[in-house]
Amino acid sequence: MRYSALTDRLQGLGGAKWEIHAAARQMKREGRDLIELTIGEPDVPCPPDLILAATAAMEAGRTGYSNGHGEPATLAAIAQRYTARRGRAFGPENIMTLPGTQTTLYAVLCTLLGPGDEVIVGDPMYATYDGLIAATGATAVPVALRPEQGFRLQAADVAAKITPRTRVLFLNTPHNPTGAVLRADEIAALGALALAHDLWIVSDEVYEDMVFDGVPFASPLDLPELAERTVVTSSISKSHAAPGFRSGWCVGPAEFCARMLPLSETMLFGSQPFIADMTTLAVTQGSPVARGMAARFAARAGMIHDRLHGVAGLAVHRPEAGMFALLDIRASGLSGSAFARALLTEAGVACMPGESFGVGGDGGLAGWLRLSLTQPDPAIDAACTRIAAFAAKTIGEPK
């Protein structure tokens, strides 16, 4: 039977990247002793008042159809949030709401891209980005994010990859999987390239509220000269410990939102009104849990660094934000995938291989692991003990 070209483009870009995580979950179901450091689920429950808001909205009958743009109160709340944070006016016409950042990014990129276009994106990148780009028919053009530069995207490296087909500069700050946060001057330099070459900037900022203490956050939305070419996406999934509610949005020019609206209507014709009401409250009151999570994750990253950096040739890259730390295992001579599989089966620790976070599966984290910081301190400590013992046994053996 015949299938669409879209399904061909997405082969190998979906669940295959999460093989270690799926295997770990199966081992847990079988009762195996396992420490799971794979995915980035918040380490606290969703705040009770948000649950009550969603429940009350359902009980009040807020279970009917919505629309492809968003509920008026939610649009107004998000617009006010960005007006306050970015120092210039945003209105409901600048906002679109969709179920989660992933859906939002899909709609945004489908609005901006088509076959033959190119997207410049930092490599490593979040595991779904290459699939999101491929779905549009466009081509991802990776730009190396280097450890010696803090894994922050550099304008000079981007400039070398721009061609007449380049349409979008795809940013992620704070970055997953590296935890890097772009500085204001770096964003200004990238913005200058976008202006010079008439590029869109798409910036995934879902971890904005989880920047560690002492690290400044900046966004291309801060710069008025980039207003007509910047689209930012975010959600309440991380900041409000509500990933299962799938509530996200994008902020961009009014014309962009108007062009995206028919796509949103075609895909979904609206998010759930009761989740919109919950989101309105979340955005209006801010997060009661984000700063605590950020503090704990920073401390756990420090624990991993203290326990593993320099042990048996391992090196730890400490993040500036988010839910993950990176472990450099290149001294083992193994790929990240091979090391992660062996670590899972022999030591009972599940980590994501760095190869899951690059175009073509061999991106800038080949020979690295991504470690989630969302487990309790005793579990992180126990995982470090197991990783250190496994590395001592493995590194230096003939390959």
Q: What is the CATH number of the domain that holds 19?
A: 3.90.1150.10
Tokens of 253: 């020019």
Average of per-residue pLDDT across 378-391: 97
Whether residues 306 and 164 fall in one domain: no
pLDDT for residue 16? 75
Q: Write down which residue in 238, 262, 285 finishes a domain.
A: 285
Q: Give yes or no for residue 360 having a pLDDT over 90.
A: no
Residue for token digits 């380490």? 43
Average of per-residue pLDDT across 177-206: 98
13-22, 182-191, 372-381: segment of lowest average pLDDT: 13-22
Q: Give yes or no for residue 363 having a pLDDT over 70.
A: no
Whether residues 188 and 89 fall in one domain: yes
211 DSSP assignment: B
Domain presence at residue 399: no
Rounded Cα gap, residues 272 and 65, in angstroms: 7
Whether residues 344 and 258 fall in one domain: no
Domain presence at residue 34: yes
Nearest in space to 119 (alpha carbons), one of 235, 203, 188, 196: 203
Q: Give yes or no for residue 398 having a pLDDT over 70.
A: no
Average of per-residue pLDDT across 107-117: 97
Whether residues 298 and 198 fall in one domain: no
Domain presence at residue 124: yes
Whether residues 208 and 271 fall in one domain: yes
Whether residues 32 and 53 fall in one domain: no
Whether residues 182 and 315 fall in one domain: no
Whether residues 61 and 209 fall in one domain: yes
121-130, 312-321, 355-364, 385-394: segment of lowest average pLDDT: 355-364
Tokens of 184: 């204001």
Higher pLDDT, 366 or 396: 366
Domain presence at residue 185: yes
Whether residues 196 and 308 fall in one domain: no
Rounded Cα gap, residues 47 and 267, in angstroms: 30
Of the pLDDT bands very low, low, confident and very high (cuts 50, 70, 90), residue 24 is confident
Nearest in space to 181 (alpha carbons), one of 145, 211, 159, 204: 211
Tokens of 387: 């990783």
Nearest in space to 183 (alpha carbons), one of 222, 225, 156, 219: 219
Q: Give yes or no for residue 95 having a pLDDT over 90.
A: yes
Tokens of 308: 């593993």
Domain presence at residue 325: yes
Residue for token digits 């005793």? 378
Alpha helices in the chain (DSSP H): 5-9, 19-29, 48-59, 72-86, 100-112, 129-136, 155-159, 184-197, 254-267, 273-285, 290-308, 336-342, 377-394
Whether residues 235 and 355 fall in one domain: no
Q: Which residues of 254-266 are buried (b: 16+ CB within 10 A; e: fewer)?
A: eebbeebbebbee
pLDDT for residue 364? 73
Q: Write down which residue in 224, 257, 285 finishes a domain.
A: 285
CB 153, CB 145: distance < 8 Å: yes
pLDDT for residue 397? 45
Domain presence at residue 314: yes
Average pLDDT value over all residues in the chain: 94
Q: Give yes or no for residue 206 having a pLDDT over 50.
A: yes
Percent of the chain with pLDDT over 70: 98
CATH number for the domain that contains residue 176:
3.40.640.10
> Which amino acid does the sequence have at 137?
G
pLDDT for residue 135? 96
Whether residues 40 and 116 fall in one domain: no
Domain presence at residue 327: yes
Q: Give yes or no for residue 7 having a pLDDT over 70.
A: yes
pLDDT for residue 130? 92
Q: Write down which residue in 261, 285, 309 finishes a domain.
A: 285
pLDDT for residue 359? 66
CB 381, CB 141: distance < 8 Å: no
Tokens of 43: 């380490």
Q: Give yes or no for residue 10 having a pLDDT over 90.
A: no
Rounded Cα gap, residues 91 and 212, in angstroms: 29
229-233, 280-284, 318-322, 391-395: segment of lowest average pLDDT: 391-395
> Which amino acid does the sequence have at 198?
D
CB 342, CB 329: distance < 8 Å: no
Average of per-residue pLDDT across 351-373: 84
Look up the domain containing 201 and give its range: 48-285
pLDDT for residue 361? 46
pLDDT for residue 358? 81
Q: Give yes or no for residue 391 having a pLDDT over 80.
A: yes
Of the pLDDT bands very low, low, confident and very high (cuts 50, 70, 90), residue 399 is very low
Whether residues 217 and 335 fall in one domain: no
Rounded Cα gap, residues 241 and 115, in angstroms: 36
Dihedral angle of Cα 35, 37, 41, 42, to the nearest 10 degrees: 80
Nearest in space to 237 (alpha carbons), one of 98, 379, 79, 124: 98
Average of per-residue pLDDT across 8-17: 81
pLDDT in tens, 243-295: 999 999 999 999 999 999 999 999 988 889 999 999 999 999 999 999 999 99
Rounded Cα gap, residues 292 and 273, in angstroms: 29
In 3-state terms, what secondary structure has residue 242?
coil
Tokens of 353: 């291989």
> How many domains, in total, are found in the chain?
2
Domain presence at residue 354: yes
pLDDT for residue 285? 96
Residue 283, CA distances (Å) to 82, 85, 209 in order: 10, 12, 11
